[in-house]
Structure 1
């Protein structure tokens, strides 16, 4: 058996060691240890050495994606993997503990939240330093919403999940709720965008991009934009860009507008940043003037989308208006090429059965329309799902948007989509569900927070979760790979918070 001496025996030994000569040590040392052993035995105070238990992990062997459930061309984005964990501890616009401070911090980082509520921005937040994951699902309580100004993605390798961007007109910004151009390796997942004064969310010119499971709703139609009527969904495009399982609801136009060469410039050339755009399993509801349109000189898949006209919809026989030029005075780029299949046009079985009945070539001839057609789909990457349009409709209603804790806005929008109606008229003349201010629908709803879970070692993983999964709550092991060969421990934790959603949304609960 191994023994360790008590405190006073150790002190006596050191004192003895310092006073006597080497020769005397050889003579007296055995007697000294005999005394110590006998003394301890008499008192019964012999203490066995306590050895630390050895932790043996058997990490799950799995392929690395941005996160489980990431699909499309942006699914290999790594974000902040391998970097530090930064906690957002307050709702301030800037300063220590703020989201802005976490975003402008350089280096790989995973941003988590210890608070829920509104972050009222005085200026846009721009992500200029890439290699970042923003995990909105970690917010305790009702989640995080940004208001008054935009979030702009201007960096490579970015993951954003489970956040809300509800701009509104109070901040005076003529802006998108969220936007990003000319970058690569980006995935936007389960976010909710609304009340923009321009587009709800515009992403084009990006390479290896995915926007999935987002809700874009109620852009402000007749608001503060200098051009007047401007309630738009988004401009979407890019090179290897995926847009799937998103909902666009209550936008007058751009649902979406597919990009064209004229929105690029000499520093970011269209020929470098345009390629396959895969638009599938989206739901478009209650558009006004146009549903999907544009796409000059581009290449697009439009597959298994669900178009549901609403009270504001002017043309109930059209879902794709292909352009050759942005306006009569703009350069003529020529029409795009489209693979169109499996789309459902609610209430119109003819278009559902023959999708090309719902497509026109603006300013074109019958020959121009025929030349739009692609007989075979463009490459769309490896997808684990194969939803038809009706399945996508139901899945988006169940799991779309910042659905970890849905707020009253998303709940109301989804009810409108399901029931085929609308909530309010605009206060400046817009009608039939197209609104002009967030005040038309009651403004920003209340969000409640909860205390952050105990995290003794400060690594971003709560003590209870670490204990339940065999980790040490007193050791910063966020960047270790004890639980997965693909994901850091902190990633396994943040992904576990929404595991039920990411599995059920693809039908895995049904054996698909």
Structure 2
């Protein structure tokens, strides 16, 4: 007898993909509460700057919670939104449907004690010629600390989709180096997809997921999904320290997770051993993945201390892929550790074999109110489809939803958790979310197209 259980599980997974609202996970591990307890600042315009804009809200001083009374697209017109003032919470979940999407730009966070939730950033090449110099990240922490970035969707970056960076050697010793660059950052439940490959970056091909720069410490990746990036999912640089728990890497091109301390960048400085702890992660090859690609690769000259357990790596057909490889003929060592190099306390850790279905229902911005491009990416991951791209135009270009408005009613929200007291988020859908053609819709409704 043929069992129907696998078919039922797949159908259930697809059905649940976009039905569930975001849930709080890994409570107690946050390095900051952002602007909790501060004043409410309302975003009332989609203009890139001026009164009532998101830019004005993030540039305000003091503890503040940014909420949205407008939904739609904020066009940065090929510029960067810089956040420098600390003690800030940006609550994209408060926006009316379809939420807030930032296009033609990115976010550079240069402050501390910041929480960013439920934003979409779609950078794009915006018609710029190849190698012409437009090189924006979708999101980058630049010498920032005590940061939470959660439930955001970062697509079409020209450099990294989501990174933590800063100076390598600011200070007199290792302790000062680490203090003066980015540290203590939690990346949770984010979607990082389709970094543009042969676009306008001056270095050439640059489809990158996440870069954790030299000597950055205290970085946690929890339940994130990288899809269709050539490499850096993530790249951990020299002396950096990162914890990866229950993340998924789909369709990496040349490299998935990798570590590299480059002699060219460390000349004159004593090497520092990097640290990676990876538990319960999945790497699945896709249409753009090189055959035999390993889960973790070691490059450069510096050693890496590594603890890994319950990680799964498979090719496009589900066959086991290598767990480790290297690029470069160097003396760098992989030093395997029996115990985690970072604390796992406070994390709800799923077996890697259960991860995919769980991630699909929660990862990215506003999972109760998905944007069409998020739906497309997630369905492609579920179905083993999609590929690395060079230009957002190949997928239809930037979104243009109509602007919406709705007042933010403070008494209806728990301002500590930034969740609606009713349990119903703005724009929450009651059924599975799909992007349907006219023919698809007619079939679902039992009718026929002409």
> Structures share a fold, TM > 0.5?
yes
Structure showing greater relative contact order (alpha-carbon pairs closer than 8 Å, 6 or more residues apart): 2
The 5-angstrom pairing of residues 319-468 of structure 1 reads 319-323=295-299, 325=300, 332=301, 334-347=302-315, 351=320, 357-363=322-328, 371-402=334-365, 403-422=367-386, 433-453=387-407, 460-461=409-410, 465=412
Contact 1:186 1:210 in 2 (8 A): yes
Contact 2:193 2:228 in 1 (8 A): yes
Task: Report the Cα distance in structure 2 between the residues aligned to 1:171 and 1:417, rounded to whole angstroms.
Answer: 27
Task: Report the Cα distance in structure 1 between the residues aligned to 2:402 and 2:424, rounded to whole angstroms.
Answer: 23
Task: Report the Cα distance in structure 2 between the residues aligned to 1:175 and 1:351, rounded to whole angstroms.
Answer: 36
Equivalent position of 2:62 in the other structure? 107
SS of equivalent residue, structure 2 residue 415: helix
Equivalent position of 2:52 in the other structure? 97
Equivalent position of 2:416 in the other structure? 491
Larger proportion of helix: 1
SS of equivalent residue, structure 2 residue 354: helix
Cα shift readout 1:357-388 (whole Å, capped 9, x = no counterpart): 420244468x965x421111122242241211
Equivalent position of 1:221 in the other structure? 197
Residue number among 145, 150, 158 corresponding to 1:184 in the alignment: 145
Task: Report the Cα distance in structure 1 between the residues aligned to 2:57 and 2:71, rounded to whole angstroms.
Answer: 16
Is structure 2 residue 87 aligned with structure 1 residue 131? yes
Shift of 1:349: 7.4
Is structure 2 residue 110 aligned with structure 1 residue 157? no
Contact 1:125 1:151 in 2 (8 A): yes
The 5-angstrom pairing of residues 281-320 of structure 1 reads 281-296=246-261, 297-320=273-296
Cα shift readout 1:39-81 (whole Å, capped 9, x = no counterpart): xxxxxxxxxxxxxxxxxxxxxxxxxxxx982538851411111
The structure whose Rg is larger is 1
Task: Report the Cα distance in structure 2 between the residues aligned to 1:315 and 1:255, rounded to whole angstroms.
Answer: 17
TM-score by length of 1: 0.67
SS of equivalent residue, structure 2 residue 393: helix
TM-score by length of 2: 0.76
For the structure 1 residues 217 and 498, does the alpha-carbon distance in structure 2 shift closer, same or farther, using more than 3 Å as the test?
A: farther
Task: Report the Cα distance in structure 1 between the residues aligned to 2:71 and 2:49, rounded to whole angstroms.
Answer: 16
For the structure 1 residues 382 and 255, does the alpha-carbon distance in structure 2 shift closer, same or farther, using more than 3 Å as the test?
A: same
Q: Structure 2: 5+ residue runs without aligned partners?
A: 1-21, 129-133, 166-180, 262-272, 427-450
Report the RMSD for the aligned CA atoms in angstroms.
2.6
Equivalent position of 2:97 in the other structure? 141
Is structure 2 residue 204 aligned with structure 1 residue 241? no
Shift of 1:492: 4.6
Task: Report the Cα distance in structure 2 between the residues aligned to 1:145 and 1:289, rounded to whole angstroms.
Answer: 29
The 5-angstrom pairing of residues 19-98 of structure 1 reads 69=24, 71=26, 75-98=30-53
